[in-house]
Amino acid sequence: MKKVIQSAINVSTALDEVVEEMVQSLSALPSLLVADYSSDLDHNRSVITLLGNEVSLEEAVIRIFQVASARLDISHHTGEHPRIGAVDVVPFTPWRGSSMEECQRLAWRVGERVAKEFGVPVYFYAEASRVPEHRDLSWLRRGGYEALREEIDKVPGRQPDLGPLELHPTLGAVAIGARGPLVAFNVNLDTGDLEVAKYIARKLRGDQGGLRYVKAIGVNLRSRGLVQVSMNLLDFRKSALYQALELVKLEAQRFGVCVKGAEIIGLVPLEALVDVASFYLGIPELKSTQVLEYHLLSLDEAES
């Protein structure tokens, strides 16, 4: 069985030509699949989702940093999404035949190369964290690039795990981690009032008494005249997609606001979608093994 690790690399740009150059730089790497990539103008952010082994993913991250070093300048970046660097977040998630421990070691190894080869401060987060303060990605990114620039050498816990005690002039800093499957789920609202989205996000967040494994922020989609509740579902089995969507709808009713569509960024596990279908179709015992493609993929794996 071939090992498969996922990495959904978050880059602080929505420029198509830069993202395409990054993707093109990965095309010749063996044992690597660019499974998905997308950009959002208002967030000014792109996510490149890769599937590969430890060797291919390590080289992929370095190549993305090489393009970012030549093409991006975080000091001039503006956008709705919190960020600390041009290559902002590099997570590793174990899938087929791989373990969280292997993803931890991969995160640490990649972090050492990034700090050494690019002079970028590196923070290890989630299961790869080495200090308690760095475990929570939202804590690392609080106040964004601007706050970290002022606090990196002054505020306890803000010092990086590796690299200099100052931000790189164009690349900023990076968070590299190991974590379980995460679903990035955004819900758009038919209003331009950002305070509505912020209020609903507070009601959703686990640390505010909402859904335990949900992180959420309110985002202004100026190009579309809408606002958005942007969420990360850290454990879709314990805080489900349908629960997040229904809670957004419920809280939006306070303001006479309706949902104007939703989106998933990057990849989503089949199990999470089956859970949604089970809820809305009223089939409580629906299982992933009842999906035809589940067995077709198993056959392909057995024959490879």
What's the fold here for domain 183-266?
Alpha-Beta Plaits (3.30.70)
Closest by CA to 215, choosing from 142, 127, 111, is 142
How many Å from the N-terminal Cα to the C-terminal Cα in the chain? 9
Q: Is the pTM of this model over 0.75?
A: yes
| Buried/exposed code over 229-260 (b: 16+ C-beta within 10 A; e: otherwise) | bbbbbbbbeebbbebbbebbeebbeeeebeeb
Q: Please state the domain extents for the chain.
A: 5-178, 183-266, 269-304
Active-site annotation holds for 76: no
* List 43, 76, 81, 295, catalytic entry: 81
CATH 3.90.1150.10 for domain 5-178, yes or no, is no
Per-residue pLDDT of the chain (304 residues; tens, 9 = 90+): 488 999 999 999 999 999 999 999 999 899 999 999 999 999 999 999 999 999 999 999 999 999 999 999 999 999 989 999 999 999 999 998 999 999 999 999 999 999 999 999 999 999 999 999 999 999 999 999 999 999 999 999 999 999 999 999 999 999 999 999 999 999 999 999 999 999 999 999 999 999 999 999 999 999 999 999 999 999 999 999 999 999 999 999 999 999 999 999 999 999 999 999 999 999 999 999 999 988 887 776 665 5
Q: What is the largest CA-CA distance in the chain?
A: 56
Measured distance CA(213)–CA(172) in Å, rounded: 28
